[in-house]
Amino acid sequence: MSQATREPRTKRTLRKAPFVVITAFLLLWLIGVATGEPARVLEQALQVCLSCIGIG
């Protein structure tokens, strides 16, 4: 590659790490959904958790 066609050293490149992390957690979320976890989360979220809020 000639000197003229080289990219300047200051040019910022796309970071791949965020995409790897996001994909990994997306897969984790899919596993959770596949095991039926959201239904359990919804079940909990629909009830007043008295001990959680310091009353019971």
Partner 1 sequence: MEAARKWIQVIVAILTNGSWSFPFTKTLYQGPLKVICAPGLNCYSCPAATTYCPMGSIQQLLGGLRFALENGQYYFGFSVLGSIGVLGGLLGRMICGWACPFGFIQELLHKIPSRKFRIPRILSHGKYVFLLLFVVVLPLVLVDEFGTGSPWFCKFVCPAGTLEAGIPMLLLQPNLRSTIGLLFLNKFVIMLLFLTWAVFSSRPFCRTACPLGAFYALFSKVRLIKLHLDEAKCTNCKACHHVCPMGVKFNESPNDPECITCLACMNKACQFDAISLEIGGIPLAVPDKGLSPASKP
Q: Which residues have CB under 8 Å from 38's CB, separation 6+?
A: 32
Q: Is 10 in the site for partner 1 (CB under 8 A)?
A: yes
Q: Is 1 in the site for partner 1 (CB under 8 A)?
A: no
Q: Is 55 in the site for partner 1 (CB under 8 A)?
A: yes
Q: Is 7 in the site for partner 1 (CB under 8 A)?
A: no
Q: Which residues have CB under 8 Å from 32's CB, separation 6+?
A: 38
Structure tokens at 41: 């989360």
Per-residue x/- mask for partner 1, residues 21 to 50, rule CB under 8 A?
xx-xxxxxxxxxx-xxxx-xxx-xxxxxxx
CB of 7 to partner 1, least distance (A): 14
